[in-house]
Amino acid sequence: MSNDFDAIVIGSGISGGYAAMELCQKGYKTLILERGRDVRHGEYPTAHDDVWDLPHRDQVPRAELEKHYPKQSRLGWWVTQANKHWINKDDEYPYREDERFDWIRGHHVGGRSIMWGRHCYRWSDLDFEANKKEGIAIDWPIRYRDVEPWYDKVETFVGIAGQAEGLKQVPDGRFLKPFPLNCAEQHLRETVAEKYPGRVVTPGRVANLSEYDPEIHKGARGQCQARDRCWRGCPFGAYFSSQSATLPVAEATGNLTLRPYSIVKEIVYDAETGRASGVRIIDANTEKEEQISARIIFCNASTVGTTAILLNSRSDHFPNGLGNRSGELGHNMMDHHYGMGAAGFLPDLKDTYYSGRKPVGFYIPRFTNIDEASQRTEYRRGFSYQGDAKRVENIPVGEVGASLKQAIFKPGAYQIRMTCFGEMLPYHDNRMYLDFSQTDQWGMPLITFDAKLRENEVKLREDGVKSAVQMLEAAGCTDISWYNSATAPGACIHEMGTARMGRDPETSVLNQWNQMHDVPNVFVTDGACMTSSGTQNPSITYMALTARAVDYADREMQAGRL
């Protein structure tokens, strides 16, 4: 394999795959470095298994969890027989915690694009302007108008099923037909709108192809079969992933080289040119180190992975990490926080039912601190909800044999469940750093987390739960239950920040093009670039920023400036 490329992309997940596709389509010889194993489209071991096909009815034995997944299993629902092959074993990939951090990740080609939640919501200027208006952290160097055409481009290719609602807080996009609300979800929409006009229950906007156009949705893709097994990997290519979409398109250009089992140790800085000359990697199979050169480097190893590489890329010029003149590298760690919500039963609609499955339920966009009428004095920013309504199983106590079988086939009442996702403010003291006194099996310093929810998040959570109960009451639900069990950062798997964008090199790591202020041929377009967190699932924004950054890098290279 050649050790000289036009571009290197570190990481093959949501943003890395998109960066590679865009670079390859523009004619650049591009190398993707993935630290884990190769996974090709269709290589999804449990994609066709039913629960009874899986060992222990999909449960992982306690002894196995305690040995291999003591941290990743703390969430309870995450590690299963159906998906444990996508999840790193904690004993093989250790990390440290000053404060609890649930770092959920897997090392393989495609990364978390195989098992992501697929919700896709645009940001608006409500998000991009919030820091400046409130005097929080620093201002974003971009606004919605800068990203809007890239949302258009990315959504068209990805394929987002959704419904236009005309809401300023989550702008409408280029939608395929939505997966419609069922009758109970529609009932919730209507009753909530009647009592709380500012709260909108809409079909979730997801990267599942409700309609398939081979001229647009290129790669190895097809229409969604509504199997509801998405996090196992989709053999139909019906939801967007690196395996089904970006990597096949990139490979078709003839410009892509994909190298798995390649652990990036550091980005090499050339003080004479003031640029990065390449990357130094460890081959996970041979354990040998080698250096690979490129004109430009895109960092897409995930928020934590990217920042760890940058912090480990030390030189005389950058003793605290590559491009870290501001000292902000590793700081301003964010995640959405959840573990809060409510559920209730509908006494009506028992004469209705639904057939089959669908990949998404409903979404309720943020409705607080949007305008004067929705202002809250006790906290800043807001929250959103994801949920669904289903008829629950009717399992009577004490029945056995034939009577139990008959009872099971009689559907119970509809239950509406909603989970609240809250915004986390960008606190400088929420951080990750490297412990150089402790190393992993590859000799890499241990990543250490020191981030937590603070007073604003606590106050926001109280209103998030209260508002959920209000909406269930408006729908006429009974037996309403609620919960507020604060999750640690990382649990929502939306970690962001740590290499933020900004206008001033003294207070930020990246400029408005996701380009390092001090190392112009290095770009960061994964979650590390985020300056605030919003309430929306962030992946579609990462992809839009990635496409925008590649376009800028291309223009700079064509002009001879890179």
Tally the C-alpha atoms within 13 A of residue 158's C-alpha that lie toward its C-beta.
35
Please tell me the predicted confidence (pLDDT) of residue 408: 82
Number of other CB atoms surrounding residue 64 within 10 Å: 16
Two tokens at 65?
């969890």
How many Cβ atoms from other residues are within 10 Å of residue 228's Cβ? 12
Say which residue the tokens 């000292």 belong to: 327
CB 267 within 8 A of CB 322: yes
pLDDT (0 to 100) of residue 21? 98
How many C-beta atoms surround the C-beta of residue 188 within 10 A?
28
Q: What is the pTM of this model?
A: 0.96
Q: Provide the pLDDT for residue 406.
A: 84
The DSSP letter of residue 273 is T
pLDDT at residue 356 in the model: 84
Domain boundaries, the chain: 1-152+240-335+428-452+490-562, 178-204+337-422+456-487
> In 389-520, which residue ranges form alpha helices assigned H by DSSP?
401-408, 455-474
Return the pLDDT at 396: 76
Q: Edge-to-edge, what's the strand order for the sheet holding 431-439?
A: 96-97, 445-450, 431-439
Contact 323, 522 (CB under 8 A): yes
Q: Which of 1, 26, 24, 41 is nearest to 252 (CA)?
A: 24
pLDDT in tens, the chain (562 residues): 567 899 999 999 999 999 999 999 999 999 999 999 999 999 999 999 998 999 999 999 999 999 999 998 898 888 999 999 999 999 999 999 999 999 999 999 999 999 999 999 999 999 999 999 999 999 999 999 999 999 999 999 999 999 999 999 999 999 999 999 999 999 999 999 999 999 999 999 999 999 999 999 999 999 999 998 998 999 999 999 999 999 999 999 999 999 999 999 999 999 999 999 999 999 999 999 999 999 999 999 999 999 999 999 999 999 999 999 999 999 999 999 999 999 999 999 988 888 889 999 999 999 999 999 999 999 999 999 999 999 988 777 777 888 888 888 888 899 999 999 999 999 999 999 999 999 999 999 999 999 999 999 999 999 999 999 999 999 999 999 999 998 899 999 999 999 999 999 999 999 999 999 999 999 999 999 999 999 999 999 999 999 999 999 999 999 999 9
Q: 3-class secondary structure for 140-193? A: CCCCHHHHHHHHHHHHHHHCEECCCCCCCCCCCCCEECCCCCCHHHHHHHHHHH
Structure tokens at 19: 């960066």
Please give the DSSP secondary-structure letter assigned to residue 445.
E
* Confidence (pLDDT) at 2: 64
Q: Which CATH number fits domain 1-152+240-335+428-452+490-562: 3.40.50.2300, 3.50.50.60, 3.40.50.1860, 3.40.190.10?
A: 3.50.50.60
pLDDT number for residue 1: 56
